[in-house]
Structure 1
C-alpha cells in the first residue's frame, strides 16, 4: 500500500535539455545558426564565415567540451519568427560580396557544404518541392543541414531565400499553446533586383503558397546521402555569384504546418527508425548471436569432452605415465611463467580495462536516454569524463598483473598506464588539430580547450591511476595454481607454426564480423554529418556479442597453442582477439576508397588519424576481454590437475 501511495505521489521528469516547450500564439521563436559542414572536407566553419546577414549583437550559447571538439558554435540569428504568424516575403539584409567572399562561396558550394540551423533544439532538415501538374510533392530530408547553393555548368548560385517550415502540434493541456515537432528549410536561389524581390513574384507565391494539392515524401537514411539537386524555381532567374561587388539580398518566408506527430516522437524521423533499417539491425543481431552459439558449442565441447577427459586421465597417476603424455598438461610447470615485456603487457591490459569501462558506461547512459542528440556534445563529453574516472580501475588492474609477474617498480608501471593510451590519443589529436588549424576551420580546438583536456588528463586521470595502482600493489600477490619450474622447458619447433599464426590472425575477424553491419551505420553517422545515429540499444547488444565472441575466440586459439606444448600464451591471448582492430582499420581504408570523396589532404589526415585511434581502442577492448577470459580458463583447467 505504501509503495502504491508513493507511486501515485511521484512526478514525471524530463532529462536535462530535452524538456518540452509550449509556445503561445505570436510568441517569438529563437532561430539559432550552428555551423557550415561538409562530408567532402570534414572541416566545419562558423556560420558567419560566409558573408551572411548578421544580427546586431551575436549571442553565443554556452558550449561544453564535446561541442568544442566537434566544432559546434551555436549563435543567434537575425530571423524574426513568431508562433503562428505566416511570413510570405521578408527582407533580411543586403550584402555586398567582395572577391574573397565570392571565392569562399564558390569553394563551399563546390565542396557541398550545408548550413546547420536550430529551432527549439531541432536541427533544420531539408525540403524540396517538385511540381507534377496539379499535384506537388514535398520531399523532406530530416537531417542536419541544407545546401548553401548549387552549381550548373560553370555558374555558381547562392541560396539567398529560405522558406522555413515549422511543424507544430497542439498542447494537450492548453489548446492555445503549441509544441514544435518539426523544422524544415527549403533553400531557394532567387534573383532580387531593385524593382522587385524574387519572393514577391506570382511564380514564387504559387510555388510555395498556392492552393494546389500536395503530399509529403519522407526520404530514408540511404537517400539522404544523395540530395544534391539544384534549389531553384525553373520559371525564375537564380542569384548568380559571378559578379563581385554586386549586391545580394537575402529574404525568407515562414509557414506553419499542423502535424499529428507528438513531441515525444519528433526525433524519430531524424534517426534510423524509419524505413527498413530496423530490420537490418535485427538481422545483424540474429546473425551475430548465431555465430556466438556456434563458438559457444565449440568451447563447451572442449570443456565437457576433451579437457575433462584429459584431466581425469592425468589424475589417474597409476594408469597413465605423465612423461608419456603430450599436449597442454606437459607445460604445467611453465604455464604461469611471466611473459616477455611483462610490464608493457600489464600497462596495455590496464589501458584496455579503462577503455572497456568507459565504453560500457557510455552505452548504458545512452540506452537510458541521457545522451540524446538534443544534448549536443553530450556523447563526447560523457566519454571523456567517464574515461578519466575509469583510471582508478586501470591502475588497479595494471599493478595487480605487474605484481603477479614479480615486478617491484609499481610507480613506473602506474605512470606507464596513465600515459600510454592517453599519450597516443593526445599526440594524434594534436597533429590532426594542427592541420585543422591551418585550414582556418572552427573545428580547430582553441588553446583554452586544450588546457581543459590536459587538466582532465593530468589533474584527474593520472592521480586516479596512481591511486588505483597503490591499492592494487598493496593487495596480496595472486597465487599460481601450479609451481613454476626454475628452468624453462624448451619449446620444440613443430611444423605448421605458420599456419597456426595465420589462423590466429584470421580468428580476429570474428569479433570484427559481429559488429560489421552496425559499424557501417556508425561510420555513416560519423563521416556524413547530416545523419544521426541513436540506436544505442542495438549497439549495446552488439557489444555484448563482441564480449562473448572475443572471449571464446581467444580461449579456442589459446587451447590450440597449448596443445602444441607452447606455453607463451600471454601475448597470444591478447593478440588473437585484439587483431580485430587491424580488421577495423582495413575496413576504414576500404570505406575511404568506396564511400568517401575527400577533396583536401587535411581531410585525409583527419579521417585516418581518428580511425587509427578508433582501431587502437577497439583492439584494446577485444584484446583485454580475450586475455581475461583466457586467464580464467587456464587457471580453471590447471587448478584441477593434481600436482605431484
Structure 2
C-alpha cells in the first residue's frame, strides 16, 4: 500500500491540474450578492454530438462576452461556457424582469425556426449546477380536408426556481411559460421581449448532498431492479460456465493425463493422437510475432486503464456533472499507462525470439494511436465544417499532441527498453521441433470465424442489458451513476471471456491444431465485434439520432471503443489460454 501511495497522489495531482475536482463547487454568497449564470451550448435534443455555442442563436447578449477557461475534459465534451446578461442576486426574487427587447430580422427568425423545428435545447450552469430548457415548441393545426399546418412558437420567458440553505445554493430548476410565446412561423421581422423571473426557496438539504438529485433521477427504481437482474443473470452464466469447465473439461483432461501417463506402452500408443501429439509445435512462436506482441501489449494497457477508471469511479471522482472528468481521466490514464504497453510488448517479443525490438516498440505506439488519430482528424474536420462546439480548438489539439510527445511516447519507449533488458524467460515445458507439423483438415465449425462467433456471444450476453444504459448515458441525456454494478459486470466480462477462450483452446488442441496463439486472441476479442454490432442496433432501433455529423461521430468513436475492447479482451483470452496450455503440458511427459 505504501508503494501505491505516491502513484495515487501523482494521479490525483494530474487530474486536479487537468480539470477534475472533488466536488461541484463550494461557493458561499452574501445577501444580494450577484451569482453569475453561464450559458453553455444549444443543439438538437436527439443528436447529442451536434451542439453549437449558445449565442449562435440570436439571444440577448451581454455587453462583453467573457468565456470561462475550460479544463481539457470540458473542451473534449464540447463545453463552451460564456457569461449571460441575466442578473440573479442571492435571495432576491424577481417577478417579471425584461432581459432585452430585440428586433429579429429574417435571418434571425430562420435560425429560431430551424431550432424549434429540430427540437433544440439549451444548457446553462448556475453555481456549477446544470439547467436545461427548450427553445420553443411546434404545434400542428388540423384543417378539414387539408394537410396539418405547423406553427413554430418561440419561448420568451424563463422562470428560475432556486433553493438555498443558509449561504449556499442547493438546487435550481428552470421552466418556460407556455403562455408567453411568440409565433415565428411567418414574417420577415418581429420584436421580441425576452423576460425572466426568479424565485428563491429555503431548503434543509445540506450542500454536500446537492448532487444527489441527479443520481436519484438518473434511472427509475424499476431500472435499478433490471440492473440487479442483469448482475444475477451474468453470475448464473459464470457459474454455469465454471461448472462446465470443472465437470466436463477437467474430466476429459483427467482421462488425457491417465492416457499420457508414465506407462511407456500406453503413452506410446496415445501419443499418436490428441493434444500431446503436437507438443513439439504448441509453443512455436506465432506468425507476425511483432504485431501479435504489440496487440498483447496494447491490450494490457487498455486493461490497466479500464481498471484504474473503475477504481476512480468507485472512489466517487465521476459524480454527476463533474464536467469532463471521465474524458480527462481517459487522456491522463492512457498517457500514464503507456509504459505498460511498451514493457509487456517488448518482454513478449524478446522471450519469443524476436530481434528487432525497436520496430516492435514503434508498432506498439502506433497500434491504437494511429487509428485514433485518423478517426479524430476526420471527425474534427466534419465538426469544423458544421461549426459545432465538438470541434476542438487548435490550442487543445496542441496540448493533446504535447501529452503524447512528452508522456505517452517516451513512456512506451522506456517500457520497451525495460522489457528488452528484462531477464524473463519463456520457460516452455516442451521442446519445440525444428519443422512444424501439418494441421489436419478441419470441419468448417473449427475455423476461426465460427469459433469467434461462439466465443463472443456468451460474454456479450452477460453485458447486454447493461450496455443499453451505458449507451443511453453516452449518446443520450441519462446520467450513469451505478458504478458499483458496472464494475461487477466488468469483472464478469473478464471471467467469462477467459473461461470460454480456454475451453475453445482445448478443443482446438484436441484436434491437433497447434495454431492457438492468434486464435485465442481473436476469440477473446470477438466480444468487441458483438458490441460493434450492438452499436448498429442501438442507432437504428433504439435512438432517434440522424444527420451526417451525428452518424459520423457515433460510428467513428464507437468503432474506436470496440477496437479497444477487442484488444483488451483478446489479451485476456490469450493470457488465460497461455496459462492453461502451460499447465496441461507440464502435467505430462514430453520428450
TM more than 0.5: yes
Equivalent of 1:341 in 288, 299, 305: 288
* Cα pair 2:109 2:184 within 8 Å, conserved: no
Q: Counterpart of 2:259?
A: 313
Equivalent residue of 1:625, what SS?
helix
Does the alignment pair 1:27 with 2:33?
yes
Matches within 5 A, 1:272-421: 272=218, 274-301=220-247, 304-325=250-271, 326-421=273-368
* Cα pair 1:159 1:239 within 8 Å, conserved: no
Equivalent of 2:541 in 594, 599, 604: 594
Offset at residue 596 of structure 1 (A): 2.5
Whole-Å separation in 2 of the counterparts to 1:242 and 1:443: 32
Which 10-residue stretch deviates more, 34-43 or 583-592? 34-43
Which 10-residue stretch deviates more, 291-300 or 267-276? 267-276
Does the alignment pair 1:180 with 2:124?
no
* Cα pair 2:259 2:270 within 8 Å, conserved: no
Whole-Å separation in 1 of the counterparts to 2:388 and 2:278: 59
Does the alignment pair 1:484 with 2:490?
no
Q: Counterpart of 1:264?
A: 208
**Structure 1 residues 16 and 498, CA gap change in structure 2 (3 angstroms):** closer
Q: Counterpart of 1:43?
A: 50
**Structure 1 residues 432 and 500, CA gap change in structure 2 (3 angstroms):** closer
Q: Counterpart of 1:64?
A: 71
Matches within 5 A, 1:151-230: 151-153=138-140, 154-168=150-164, 170=165, 177-188=166-177
Whole-Å separation in 1 of the counterparts to 2:486 and 2:251: 35
Whole-Å separation in 1 of the counterparts to 2:444 and 2:547: 46
Q: Which has the higher helix share?
A: 2
Offset at residue 237 of structure 1 (A): 6.0
**Structure 1 residues 65 and 427, CA gap change in structure 2 (3 angstroms):** same
* Cα pair 2:231 2:489 within 8 Å, conserved: yes
Provide structure 1 residue ranges, at least 5 long, that are not aligned to the other structure: 1-13, 125-144, 171-176, 189-231
Does the alignment pair 1:88 with 2:95?
yes
Offset at residue 241 of structure 1 (A): 5.3
Offset at residue 323 of structure 1 (A): 4.1
Query: What's the RMSD between the two structures over aligned residues?
Result: 2.0
**Structure 1 residues 495 and 366, CA gap change in structure 2 (3 angstroms):** closer
Q: What's the TM-score once normalised by structure 1's chain length?
A: 0.83
Whole-Å separation in 2 of the counterparts to 1:347 and 1:586: 25
Equivalent residue of 1:282, what SS?
helix
* Cα pair 1:181 1:262 within 8 Å, conserved: yes
Equivalent residue of 2:212, what SS?
coil
**Structure 1 residues 288 and 497, CA gap change in structure 2 (3 angstroms):** closer
Offset at residue 181 of structure 1 (A): 2.5
Equivalent residue of 2:432, what SS?
coil
Equivalent of 1:473 in 420, 427, 433: 420
**Structure 1 residues 237 and 336, CA gap change in structure 2 (3 angstroms):** closer
**Structure 1 residues 500 and 616, CA gap change in structure 2 (3 angstroms):** closer
* Cα pair 1:165 1:257 within 8 Å, conserved: yes
Matches within 5 A, 1:543-562: 543-562=490-509
Matches within 5 A, 1:420-499: 420-476=367-423, 477-498=425-446
* Cα pair 1:111 1:599 within 8 Å, conserved: no
**Structure 1 residues 55 and 459, CA gap change in structure 2 (3 angstroms):** same
